[in-house]
Each structure stands twice: as structure tokens, then as C-alpha cells.
Amino acid sequence: MTELWHDHQNQIKEITIDTPFQVGPVNVYLIFSDALILVDTGPKTAEAREQLKAGLRKYGVSFKDLDYLLLTHHHPDHIGLTAEVAESTKVAGHHRLIPWLDPAHHPDFLKQRIAYLDHFYKRHGMDEASASAIVNQNLKYMTYAEVAPLNVPLHDGDRLDGLPGWHVMETLGHAQTHLSLMRDNDQVMVAGDHLIRHISSNALLEPPHEPGGERPRTLLQYREAMKKCLSASKVYSGHGEPVLEPAALIQKRLYEQDQKAAYLKSLIGQEVMTAVGVTRKMYKGLYDRQPGLTFSETLGHLDLLESRLELSVSEEDIWRYAVPQKD
């Protein structure tokens, strides 16, 4: 343990790393406690690797000093350099990260997800070209990650050895593998992409984690997981500046979602529409450029309306949404 490390005892230090993705730079964090924890890694690029190493060096540590690498969720900008860090460090994260981090032992995992989504997209009115563009984009995205098996699978409420006074919070919605850390005494959080100050985090469409299970209604999950964080005093995010007034931001996000859902409902009006039809009407040309994100965003809000019985869906070969008419 170096002098510098002692200086940082009980502190949280941010290292910002560039990504080749539209979201911009990602923040990873060092937590200096009884153990030394790195939260997330950045993507697998040469530039990110150098920036991560330089960031650690600034605090007088290197990969071999880390006791744990804690991953907030499975997206490549957060887990990209896992294999490299894991050579000398235990990897901790949500228990559902297991197949993501050990694809060799879960060869069907990705295949089943792709098959589910392909079928799902088409059932909601998507054409072949857009559906396969999304799959290809996702596969390319995953090449920015080189993974290693999960050593410490975590569940909601768990505590990590060497990190006294903190607990794990399952914060699903943005990803089905998402977790955050919360410090008990002052409710400070390190929260990955759960809450971001300058952009609204997407509750992304994902297949059921277990084949044959029910599709997670990710926006509904996300809203519940945000409400769990209303007591947070400060949130260190995966992107951008820390959130200094988490409760106000959460209320704002919930309100924006309600507004967007109401707008989508008005777009449907008296019509009977597929989710893709609603997405096109909402996003126009952006749908052609980003079918995956725009569809996912729309579907989340349709789920929200459906859960409130403000929308009904007819589940035939092609699923269609309609606003129930009062008589």
C-alpha cells in the first residue's frame, strides 16, 4: 500500500475515459476502503486502456493493487477491459452477469437473445432490414468488451468484503444486470448509468433473462428503481458530472416519462397501430438511423400506458396498440 493510498482513505475518485460511442466519455471510480475497489473499466480500446492506467497511476495504484473490480452492468463502455483487470483482481457484479462474462460456458445465451429480439421486432411490425441492422449493431458493440468470469455474484442488499458501510442496490431498468452501491451513513451512491445528470438514461428493451420467461417491462422497472434512490444525497454517475440533487432529478425524469407517454397516446389517437408505427410517427427519420434505440424508447412508454390500462394490445401475428374507447 502506497502513501498516496493512505491519503485517499474512504474517498471516491473519478477517472474519466473516452469511448468511441455516442454517449461520450465514461466515468470509472476508485473507492479507497479497507479494500481497493475499481468500479467499471471503460471500453476495450488502446486509448481507454492508457487512460485507465494513467488514472490509477495518478492515485499511486495499478491493476495489481485492486482487490475488486465491480461492474455496474454489462454494457461495453463499462466492462470492456474486464479481462485485463481480472488477471490480478476478483470480478464482482450482478449475478445475471454470469453468462455475459463467461460466454464460453453459455454458448446459447447470446443466440437465444438475438432470436428472441428478431422475433419480437417483427411481431411489432419491423421490417427485416431494420431488425438485422439492430442485431449487427449490437454484435459490433459487444466487440468493445473482452470479458472474464464473474467471481463474486451479487444480489440486492449484499455487502462486499473490504467495503464496510456500503451495500449493493439492484437498480434494474437501463440494463437487466444493473446494480449500484450506496453508502449507509450518508446515502452517497455510485450508480453507473442508473441516473445521469445531463441525459435521460434509456430503459432498454431486453429479452427475458431466462428463456421462456416473461419480458421485463424495463421502463416500469426503471421507474421503481429510481424511486428506491430518492433518499440518495449525491450520485456518482457513469457519464457526466455527479448528481447533487438526486430526488429532484428523479422527479423530473418520472415527469418527463409521464409526459412522453401522454404524447404517444395522443399520437395513436383513434388509430390502431403497431409499436413500430408509433415509433415512426414519433421519431420520423431518426427511426431509420437508430431503429433499436427509438423502438426501445417507444415500447417502454407503451408498456407504461398498457400497465395503466390507457392502452390495449391485440396479440395476433402482428401486435397492435389502441386507446380503449369509452362508450
- Closer residue to Zn ion in complex, CB, 226/264: 226
Closest CA to 5 of 31, 23, 29: 31
Report which DSSP code applies to 214.
P
HSE, side-chain direction, 13 A CA sphere, residue 274 = 16
Least distance from C-beta 90 to Zn ion, angstroms? 22
CA dist 209 and 170 (Å) reads 15
Query: Where does this chain touch Zn ion (CB under 5 A) — which range of 39-47, 108-116, 188-196, 260-268?
Result: 188-196
| Among the listed residues 170, 193, 297, 303, the single contact to Zn ion using CB under 5 A | 193
Contact flag: residue 170 with Zn ion (CB under 5 A)? no
- Closer residue to Zn ion in complex, CB, 28/311: 28
Least distance from C-beta 224 to Zn ion, angstroms? 18
| Among the listed residues 74, 75, 124, 239, the single contact to Zn ion using CB under 5 A | 75
- Closer residue to Zn ion in complex, CB, 100/321: 100
Least distance from C-beta 110 to Zn ion, angstroms? 17
Which residue in this structure is represented by grid cell 432470436? Answer: 115
Which residue in this structure is represented by grid cell 479497507? Answer: 34
- Closer residue to Zn ion in complex, CB, 183/194: 194
CA dist 144 and 196 (Å) reads 22
CA distances (Å), origin 234, targets 103, 221, 242: 35, 22, 7
Contact flag: residue 40 with Zn ion (CB under 5 A)? no
Q: Which amino acid is at 107?
A: P
Contact flag: residue 239 with Zn ion (CB under 5 A)? no
Chain residues that interact with Zn ion, rule: CB under 5 A: 75, 193
